Amino acid sequence: MKSFDETDINTLRLGESEEDLETAAKIIADGGLVAFPTETVYGLGADALNPDAVADIYIVKGRPSDNPSIVHIADPEQIRDLTPRITEDMRKVMDAFWPGPMTMITEAKPIIPMVTTGGLNTVGIRLPDSRITRELIRRSGCYLAGPSANISGKPSPTTAQHVLDDFTGRIEAVIDAGPCRVGIESTVIDMTGEIPMILRPGGITKAMFEEVLGKKILLDPTLNKKPDPEKQADFKPKAPGQKYKHYAPDAEMILFEGDPDRVTAAIDEERNRRELAGEQVCVIDFRGSKQTAAHEIFARLRQADKDHVNVILAAAVPEEGLGFSVMNRLLKSAGYNIRRV
């Protein structure tokens, strides 16, 4: 297992050639860490059934040990190795959305180590829509534990360079397959209850699930709540990762919400005021397209940090469909610092 001062690994930047895939697969099979591309964000991968390898993910990310890692598979039937039961609802959403940006929470088989499940008796399983990563899984002969490949609390990585910015010298390799298509993480849906419940909004929306399942589903009630530091006990999201500070840029961030014209005017006014005071300002206005918003948000937040901006002024986006998932990320990155205008 690695220690904190073991920071001088030669991190390989691999491509999509056969040879590079073999190299990556061998690293995983030998218990090392390889960051891998998916359609959502880059993941930090290790053999999900090797507790020492998964423990290394937590060390390099600085991730709390109670936050489970999802497990990536290459083919739908592999789910049988990880969970004892496939319900009718699970089958429907798997058929509809895999490969794709959906993580299903299901009962875990005992072969999955505690370090991977964060001590829960459930596991999140995902079949990503990335040929290269599915090939990596097949060749390594392992399932891939894979949280997003960012330092805990920071914006998720949507390019190999983002991964290298966080982990050069700390992981064995990253496979560079260009920018991620969706740009925000998968929808996490809990399939263990009578009625499925979305724990983290993502690329697959509530309406898309309801259409496929032919019934209404639930949203974790904490998704519509602002966490109150005074009342920590009341804020218990079912996905452990959702209770932590998330996606946070170094800069102060303000999210402007309200009538569209007033939002534009308020952002302009705040920008002028700040610039006059000598501050460097970044404006993020994604109201034009939800897809672009999802695709760009993490890269923009990371760029703002690289540019050492003092403040990010962001416009709220309409909360329908994918917009709800984007707003979830904007709210968290702004630390719920909302200005209603």
The footprint of Mg ion (CB under 5 A) covers 148
Measured from the CB of residue 137, what is the shortest distance to ligand TXA in angstroms? Answer: 12
3-state secondary structure of 306: helix
Q: Which helix (DSSP H) or strand (DSSP E) does residue 329 occupy?
A: helix 322-333
Burial tier of 312 (Cβ tally within 10 Å: 0-12, 13-18, 19+)? buried
* Chain residues in the site for ligand TXA (CB under 6 A): 38, 40-41, 43, 67-70, 101, 103, 105, 117, 120, 122-124, 126, 128, 146-148, 185-186, 188, 199-200, 238-242
DSSP class of 68: P
Measured from the CB of residue 116, what is the shortest distance to ligand TXA in angstroms? Answer: 9
3-state secondary structure of 219: strand
Cα of 270 vs its chain's centroid, Å: 31
Measured from the CB of residue 281, what is the shortest distance to ligand TXA in angstroms? Answer: 29
Nearer to ligand TXA, 50 or 186 (CB): 186
Measured from the CB of residue 273, what is the shortest distance to ligand TXA in angstroms? Answer: 36
Nearer to ligand TXA, 113 or 256 (CB): 113
Instruction: Determine the residue with CB nearest ligand TXA.
Output: 241
Nearer to Mg ion, 43 or 113 (CB): 43
Token match 């006059």: residue? Answer: 276
Among candidate residues 69, 41, 102, 70, the one with its CA nearest the CA of residue 297: 41
Token match 């829960």: residue? Answer: 120
Geometric angle at alpha carbon 32, from 29 and 36, rounded to 5°: 90
- Return the one option of ligand TXA, Mg ion, none that residue 38 interacts with (CB less than 5 to 8 A, by type): ligand TXA
Nearer to Mg ion, 143 or 247 (CB): 247
- Return the one option of Mg ion, ligand TXA, none that residue 239 interacts with (CB less than 5 to 8 A, by type): ligand TXA
Nearer to Mg ion, 44 or 314 (CB): 44
Token match 């509530």: residue? Answer: 206
